[in-house]
């Protein structure tokens, strides 16, 4: 599996499965990343998402961690992106819920 993975300022990671990107017709992640107000860190190289800035620049904050690339990839692309951000407060909150969150409930 060919993966583009990089660390972002918060200590989280963004992982892009380039094998899935090969079959993607929309390249939705690159389109949304390059709209005004977004991080503008992705570009197409040989038909695949690639970083414009260096890994060090991305880690220092070039990526805005806005989650738009992951969302648009899920909705319009090939489900190739996973954004993992450290959210310890959310983890604590979820552990202390008295009932399961809606997204975990059976229909």
- CA dihedral (78, 41, 56, 49) in degrees, to 10, reads 30
SS3 state at 68: helix
> Quick one: pLDDT at residue 83?
95
Give the whole-angstrom CA distance, residue 89 versus residue 46: 40
pLDDT by position in tens, the chain (length 107): 799 999 999 999 999 999 999 999 999 999 999 998 888 999 999 999 999 999 999 999 999 999 999 999 999 999 999 999 998 888 888 888 888 766 666 65
Tokens 């017709």, residue located:
25
Structural domains in the chain? 3-104 (3.30.70)
> Quick one: pLDDT at residue 69?
96
Which token pair is 42? Answer: 């992705």
> Quick one: pLDDT at residue 27?
97
Tokens 């583009």, residue located:
4
SS3 state at 19: helix
For CA atoms 98, 102, 105, 107, the dihedral sign is positive
Give the whole-angstrom CA distance, residue 56 versus residue 25: 30
């Amino acid at each position: 599996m060919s993966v583009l993975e990089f660390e972002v300022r918060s200590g989280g990671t963004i992982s892009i499965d380039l094998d899935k990107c090969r079959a993607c017709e929309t390249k939705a992640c690159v389109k949304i990343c390059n709209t005004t107000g977004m991080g503008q860190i992705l570009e197409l190289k040989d038909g695949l998402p690639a970083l414009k800035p260096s890994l060090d620049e991305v880690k220092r904050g070039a990526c805005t961690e806005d989650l738009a690339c992951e969302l648009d990839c899920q909705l319009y692309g090939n489900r190739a992106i996973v954004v993992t951000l450290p959210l310890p407060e959310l983890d604590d909150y979820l552990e202390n819920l008295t009932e399961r969150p809606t997204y975990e409930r059976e229909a």
